[in-house]
């Protein structure tokens, strides 16, 4: 990601308390308080759901832990032989082991959305089934996936999100960031490519941008769900509007795909 700073997360707090029964993919996502790390004088909050995905030993994409043996990422991140993919959980700074323990997992199965389109990147979403379940702790915990029906109008009213990832600083720097970065993005509807697309939406920040290596990274918000504060995922990074990484980003709409996520996890549990 091309960030000038690593901002502390200050996402929109939204009350969803009167909309049906509380339904989450994995209730283990309800978080205890967790710590922070400091980079460059600014707090960069550690996101315990982040998945660091490597291909043949090199960083490939980001993803998010959504259940004990499932990671959500972009479908185009998993187009190579999945046996060469390794998912690392608990990662924060890939250049050191002093920031806490990490756990590595082989990928047992890649489950792409059946209507993923390689040319247009529509339905650019996939699940990585890990070779074993992980245990949750302060450094490894899933992000919440909302399953409650009829939340579309409320979710569409959220205008501000946070994106976390290890992408490159700019289009001219091909090396991924060692340290997990985060930035705020606002829902962006001004471009015609961003309107009337149910399976994805756009997000923009005037000075910071997603870039190469951010694919699959989660877009999320801090919300109050039935009075309980949670971190919920609403999108995942799919494409950039400019090869120079200086425009808005396209995000696969996670809520639009929750039925597929739920049934796929249940079927392959």
Distance between CA atoms of residues 67 and 134, nearest Å: 9
**Class of residue 72 by CB neighbours under 10 A (exposed 0-12, middle 13-18, buried 19+):** buried
Instruction: Give the pLDDT confidence of 185-214 residue by residue, as tens digits.
Output: 888 777 777 666 678 888 867 655 556 667
Q: Are 199 and 184 within 8 A, CB to CB?
A: no
Strand extents, DSSP E, the chain: 36-39, 42-45, 50-55, 58-67, 70-73, 85-89, 103-112, 126-130, 160-165, 168-170, 173-176, 181-188, 200-204, 218-225, 228-240, 249-253
Q: Strand, coil or helix: what is 49?
A: coil
Instruction: Give the pLDDT confidence of 126-161 residue by residue, as tens digits.
Output: 999 999 999 999 899 999 999 988 888 888 889 899
Give the residue from 197, 204, 233, 199 showing the smallest Cα distance to 217. 233
Give the other-Cβ count within 10 Å of 263's Cβ.
Answer: 10
Distance between CA atoms of residues 228 and 74, nearest Å: 29
Q: Looking at residue 41, what is its pLDDT?
A: 26
Tokens linked to 70 = 């499932």
Distance between CA atoms of residues 201 and 249, nearest Å: 8
Q: Looking at residue 10, what is its pLDDT?
A: 31
Give the residue from 175, 219, 213, 237 showing the smallest Cα distance to 61. 213
Give the other-Cβ count within 10 Å of 256's Cβ.
Answer: 19
Sign of CA dihedral 3, 194, 20, 22: negative
Q: What is the pairing mode between strands 85-89 and 200-204?
A: unpaired
The list of the chain residues with pLDDT below 70 reads 1-22, 33-45, 80, 168-174, 194-197, 204, 206-213, 239-248
Q: Strand, coil or helix: what is 85?
A: strand
Q: Looking at residue 210, what is its pLDDT?
A: 58
CATH class held by domain 48-142+258-268? mainly beta
Tell me, what DSSP letter sits at residue 28?
G
**Class of residue 73 by CB neighbours under 10 A (exposed 0-12, middle 13-18, buried 19+):** buried
Distance between CA atoms of residues 64 and 51, nearest Å: 5
């Amino acid at each position: 990601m091309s960030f000038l700073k690593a901002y502390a997360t200050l996402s929109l707090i939204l009350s969803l308390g009167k909309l049906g029964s509380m339904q989450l993919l994995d209730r283990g996502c309800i978080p205890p308080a967790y710590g922070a790390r400091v980079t460059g004088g600014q707090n960069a909050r550690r996101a315990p759901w982040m998945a660091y995905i490597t291909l043949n030993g090199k960083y490939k994409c980001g993803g998010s832990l959504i259940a004990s043996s499932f990671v959500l990422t972009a479908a185009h991140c998993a187009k190579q032989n999945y046996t060469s993919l390794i998912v690392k959980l608990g990662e924060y700074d890939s250049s050191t082991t002093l920031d806490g323990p990490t756990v590595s997992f082989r990928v047992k199965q890649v489950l792409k959305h059946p209507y993923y389109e390689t040319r247009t990147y529509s339905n650019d979403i996939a699940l990585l089934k890990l070779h074993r379940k992980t245990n949750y702790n302060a450094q490894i915990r899933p992000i919440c996936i909302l399953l409650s029906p009829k939340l579309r109008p409320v979710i569409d009213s959220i205008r501000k999100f946070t994106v976390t990832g290890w992408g490159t600083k700019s289009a001219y720097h091909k090396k991924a960031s060692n340290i997990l970065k985060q930035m705020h993005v606002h829902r962006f509807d001004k471009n015609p490519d961003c309107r009337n697309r149910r399976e994805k939406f756009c997000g923009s920040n005037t000075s910071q941008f997603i870039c190469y290596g951010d694919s699959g990274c989660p877009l999320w918000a801090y919300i109050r769900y039935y009075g309980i504060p949670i971190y919920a995922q609403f999108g995942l990074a799919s494409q950039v509007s400019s090869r120079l990484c200086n425009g808005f980003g396209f995000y696969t709409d996670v809520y639009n795909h929750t039925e597929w996520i739920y049934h796929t996890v249940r079927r392959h549990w």
